Structure 1
Amino acid sequence: MDARGLGLVVGLLRERLDAGWAPGEIKRLLDSPLPDRVARMSGLVASRLRRLVAVGESPRAQAAAASRERERLARERAAVVDAREAQTAPSVVHMSIHDLVTRLAPGLSPARCARVELAVRQALADAWHRENPQGGKPSPSALLEVLAASGERIAGRVIAENMDGEVA
Structure 2
Amino acid sequence: MLAMDPAGAQAVAGLLAERVEAGWRPAEIRTAIGSSRPGRIGRMSSLVAARLRTNVDPAMAPSSLVASAQDARREASQRRADALAQSPQRQADPRFAAALERARAALGAGASRLEVAQEAHRLLGAQRAAGAGASP
TM-score range, shorter chain: 0.5 to 0.7
Letter in 2 for 1:37: R
Which amino acid in the other structure matches residue 28 of structure 1? T
- Give the whole-Å Cα distance in 2 for the aligned partners of 1:6 and 1:57: 23
**Counterpart amino acid of residue 55 in structure 2:** L
Coordinate RMSD, CA, aligned: 1.9
- Work out whether 1:78 is the aligned partner of 2:78: no
> C-alpha displacement at 1:36, in angstroms?
2.3
> Pairwise mapping of residues 1-168 of structure 1 onto structure 2 (< 5 A)?
1-85=4-88
Return 5+ residue gaps in structure 1 as ranges.
90-168
Higher helix share: 1
The residue type equivalent to 1:73 in the other structure is A
User: Secondary structure of the equivalent of 1:20?
Assistant: coil
Amino acid at match of 1:55: P
Q: Deviations over 1:90-120 (max 9, x none)?
A: xxxxxxxxxxxxxxxxxxxxxxxxxxxxxxx
% identical aligned pairs: 40
CA distance in 2, matches of 1:84, 1:6: 60
For 1:29 and 1:44, how far apart are their aligned partners in 2?
Answer: 14
The secondary structure found in structure 2 opposite 1:76 is helix
Structure with max Cα Rg: 1
Structure 1 ranges of 4+ moved more than 6 A: none
In structure 2, stretches of 5+ residues that fail to align are 92-136
Equivalenced residues, count: 88
Spell out, residue by residue over 1:110-153, the C-alpha distance to the aligned partner (whole angstroms, 9 max, x if none): xxxxxxxxxxxxxxxxxxxxxxxxxxxxxxxxxxxxxxxxxxxx
